[in-house]
A = this chain, B = another copy of it.
Amino acid sequence: MDNWNIIFIVLTCVSFVYSALQPGNWGSCENGESIPTRTNTSLRVEALRAEMVKEKLGAYIVPSEDFHMSEFVSSYDERRFYISGFDGSMGTAVITATHAALWTRGKYFLQAETQLGCDWILMREREPGVPTIEEWLGEQLENQAVKKVGACPYFFGNDAWLDYEKSLEQHGLRLGQTVPDLIDKIWTDDRPAFPDTVINSYPLKYAGKSWQDKVQEVQEEMKKKNADVLIVTMLDETAWLFNMRATDIRGFVNDPFFYSLAIVRPSSVSLYIKNKEMKLTANPTDQESDQTIKDHLNTRADGSCRKNSNKMCVEVKEYNYVSFIMDLDALAGNATIKRIWLSYFCNYAVYTMIPQDKIYVDNTPVAMLKTQKNDVEVQGMTNSHIRDAAALAIFASKLEKGVKSGETWTEVSASNELTRLRSLQDLNRGDSFASISSSGSNAAIIHYFPTNTTDRRITANDIYLIDSGGQYLDGTTDVTRTFLWRDPTAFEKECYTRVLMGQINLAMAVWTKGLFGREIDAWARQPLFDVGLTFKHGTGHGIGHYLSVHEGPGRISNYHAKFDWDVPLAEHMFYSDEPGYYEDGKFGIRLENIVYVKKVETKYSMKGVTMLGMETVTLFPYETHLIDYSKMSGKQISWLNAYNAKTLEKVGKLLKDQDAMEAYEWVEKRTKKIETTSGSTTTIASNFIIYSLLLLYLIW
């Protein structure tokens, strides 16, 4: 799945569900415009202004982020959506006593226009003449007595906050910390509940490493960097570190996380969870979990450590922003603590508690250990991708047959059927995100997610793209294939072929250990570049192991701006390999596999140099009639033949075991060996004719 797809999906759906649940709350503009996508936020903005007056603020800034700087926030944390009605993934709302404005980027202009309340100004970022937030505030508050701008430091990254602070100062304004957040004060009645799902212990046979071993490794990494304290604020990090899973983030991504924070010290660990006594003692809700969290973490029911054994114990504390910040304050003031490790993704409130000379900023050792999967995790990812491919093959063969025979299939009905088929596979725990099921011109919209208002029939005439994935106890999947059930045009065929060639280029690439993803992305784009085409998204994102479908810190992308937290590609990191091509208003093609990085053997070797390559774990066939083999190199065709053989062997076997013979034949048909001698499938025949004629001429 593309790096930004899910954000759009989550928010589009949240918006839709929200609107649907509150029919009387649809916005209406002065000119009489009344559309179901618009929210009337006037009362909310007025309530916020009343709070601003109490706090003596000239303006208030509402960003998209939550306390954990999550890529996908729960509906509880949708503060900017609540105040503005706009649910795009990027956007910042700014409210003064007289005006309300929302800044967002080009791709969201249309969406914002149809969602923002009528009393909002849409600020089209980077368009000529559009002021920055700071410039606009400078003008708005120029003749005002109140020069203070408020914002809650819980929901800003450190760099973002400091940038605002500096830039506002240049406009004569002062940024002040507002705690608690003013949206939290006014958003009470109609707010989704704070997510509070039961936490299940995650069995060792899937995790591959006990939380005790993980904590010990983290502590060893801390020792190497002389860190006395490690602060863990990201939700996938706590889920991985403690081998625990829940369903707090449910929506258009299903991230099996629980709201939590952690503090690791050289000889102790503290975990903060919401409603701790219930969570510690509740019976597991997952059939594979066989113990309560208190037993799993070796605590008493109140979260205090059991001292009755030599075993490691996690002290469990109640999750609460304020008490966590107070605990940080105590640590920061402790003279024996010299160095406190923060990730790039801690919020400003966390940063600001730690004195400058004690801060050490780097990817946490939790993130770094998590991203390089252990052998059990690698095997689990491999296995879950085979089961996932079986579900997808059953789906694809059924859909093809249905569409060709005139059945009515739509983007939404297809998506629902695929979810159902995945749920029948072993260890499935739902989709990893809502499927991007898109037909024809919809497939050209990289951020598309079908809703009842956009739903389109899937026909044999249109290219159909489905980007989907599953959560399994032993892994997370994310796969995209593109179909067309008629003869392609020459251009469609060339695009599909070049996207495939790019995907194969990356899959069979070999490089020296130490390179970053952005430094090898160009291999995947080269076949498209050669004819003047490209795709406006990254080639690959990291993926978790029964965790998030987007996992950092690495990424295979020269499309994104440079980021400080990037890390070189290393063994056992899993990434997507998903080049694409999108023809606006017509069609979209994307082919996505999951690959993992591994050491490879080469003809020669150099002292001190490790060569890395990829192993593709997604085993799913391609549409052979959309491939122009004559454009591919001999190496690419060899790779494809080996891939097809493995797909038939692994996925074919499972389909037979599941008695899914139609799907088996569907796969078998697409995985036949491509015969070629010198990079072109036509070479043998044409050469044979030429040489035969030549020889006959010579003989006679």
Residue positions of A touching B, CB distance < 8 A: 166, 169-170, 357, 491, 509-512, 515-516, 518-523, 525-526, 529-534, 558, 562, 584, 602-607, 609, 611, 633, 678-680, 683, 687-688, 691-692, 694-696
Asked if A512 contacts B526 (CB within 8 A), the reply is no
Q: In whole angstroms, how far apart are the Cα atoms of A531 and B519 in the complex? A: 19
Residue of B nearest to A608 (CB): B536
Q: Which residues of B have CB within 8 Å of A532?
A: 510, 602-606, 609, 611
Q: In whole angstroms, how far apart are the Cα atoms of A680 and B532 in the complex? A: 27
Q: In whole angstroms, how far apart are the Cα atoms of A692 and B529 in the complex? A: 40
Asked if B606 contacts A533 (CB within 8 A), the reply is yes
Residue of B nearest to A604 (CB): B532
Residue of B nearest to A689 (CB): B691
Asked if A529 contacts B611 (CB within 8 A), the reply is yes
Q: In whole angstroms, how far apart are the Cα atoms of A683 and B357 in the complex? A: 68
Q: Which residues of B have CB within 8 Å of A522?
A: 511, 515, 519-520, 522-523
Number of copies: 2
**What are 29 A-B contacts defined by CB distance under 8 Å?**
A170-B357, A509-B529, A510-B530, A512-B525, A515-B522, A516-B558, A522-B522, A522-B523, A523-B523, A523-B526, A530-B602, A531-B602, A531-B603, A531-B604, A532-B602, A532-B603, A532-B604, A532-B605, A532-B609, A533-B604, A562-B562, A584-B607, A678-B683, A679-B679, A687-B687, A691-B692, A691-B695, A692-B695, A695-B695
With beta carbons under 8 angstroms apart, the residue of B512, B584, B605, B691 that contacts A691 is B691
Tell which of A602, A604, A633 has the most Cβ of chain B within 10 Å: A604
**Chain A contact residues: helix, strand, loop or mixed:** mixed
A154 to chain B, nearest CB (A): 27
A638 to chain B, nearest CB (A): 13
Q: In whole angstroms, how far apart are the Cα atoms of A448 and B680 in the complex? A: 45
Q: In whole angstroms, how far apart are the Cα atoms of A602 and B528 in the complex? A: 10
Q: Beyond the given A516-B558, A688-B694, could you list 10 further A-B residue pairs with CB under 8 A, ordered by the A residue number?
A: A509-B526, A510-B530, A515-B522, A531-B602, A532-B603, A532-B604, A533-B604, A534-B606, A687-B691, A695-B696
Tell which of A519, A584, A633 has the most Cβ of chain B within 10 Å: A519
Q: Which residues of B have CB within 8 Å of A491?
A: 604
Asked if B558 contacts A529 (CB within 8 A), the reply is no
Q: In whole angstroms, how far apart are the Cα atoms of A584 and B584 in the complex? A: 53
Q: In whole angstroms, how far apart are the Cα atoms of A694 and B690 in the complex? A: 13
Q: In whole angstroms, how far apart are the Cα atoms of A69 and B691 in the complex? A: 66
Residue of B nearest to A634 (CB): B679
Indicate whether A609 sits within 8 Å of B688 (C-beta atoms), given known contacts A515-B558, A562-B562.
Answer: no
Residue of B nearest to A530 (CB): B510
Q: In whole angstroms, how far apart are the Cα atoms of A698 and B476 in the complex? A: 55
A377 to chain B, nearest CB (A): 27
Residue of B nearest to A683 (CB): B678
Q: Which residues of B have CB within 8 Å of A562?
A: 562
Q: Which residues of B have CB within 8 Å of A695?
A: 691-692, 695-696
Q: In whole angstroms, how far apart are the Cα atoms of A357 and B518 in the complex? A: 33
A548 to chain B, nearest CB (A): 26
A334 to chain B, nearest CB (A): 17
A370 to chain B, nearest CB (A): 23
Residue of B nearest to A169 (CB): B357
Residue of B nearest to A562 (CB): B562
Residue of B nearest to A338 (CB): B170
With beta carbons under 8 angstroms apart, the residue of B510, B521, B529, B679 that contacts A510 is B529
Residue of B nearest to A677 (CB): B687
Residue of B nearest to A611 (CB): B532
Q: In whole angstroms, how far apart are the Cα atoms of A605 and B528 in the complex? A: 11
A499 to chain B, nearest CB (A): 13
Q: In whole angstroms, how far apart are the Cα atoms of A695 and B516 in the complex? A: 53
Q: In whole angstroms, how far apart are the Cα atoms of A170 and B606 in the complex? A: 40
Q: Which residues of B have CB within 8 Å of A357?
A: 166, 169-170
Q: Which residues of B have CB within 8 Å of A511?
A: 522, 525, 529
Q: Which residues of B have CB within 8 Å of A687?
A: 687, 691
A132 to chain B, nearest CB (A): 13
Q: Which residues of B have CB within 8 Å of A516?
A: 558
Residue of B nearest to A523 (CB): B522
Tell which of A529, A531, A603, A607 has the most Cβ of chain B within 10 Å: A529
Q: Which residues of B have CB within 8 Å of A633?
A: 633
Tell which of A532, A558, A604, A605 has the most Cβ of chain B within 10 Å: A532
Indicate whether A521 sits within 8 Å of B519 (C-beta atoms), given known contacts A611-B532, A678-B680.
Answer: yes
Q: In whole angstroms, how far apart are the Cα atoms of A408 and B457 in the complex? A: 82
Residue of B nearest to A606 (CB): B533
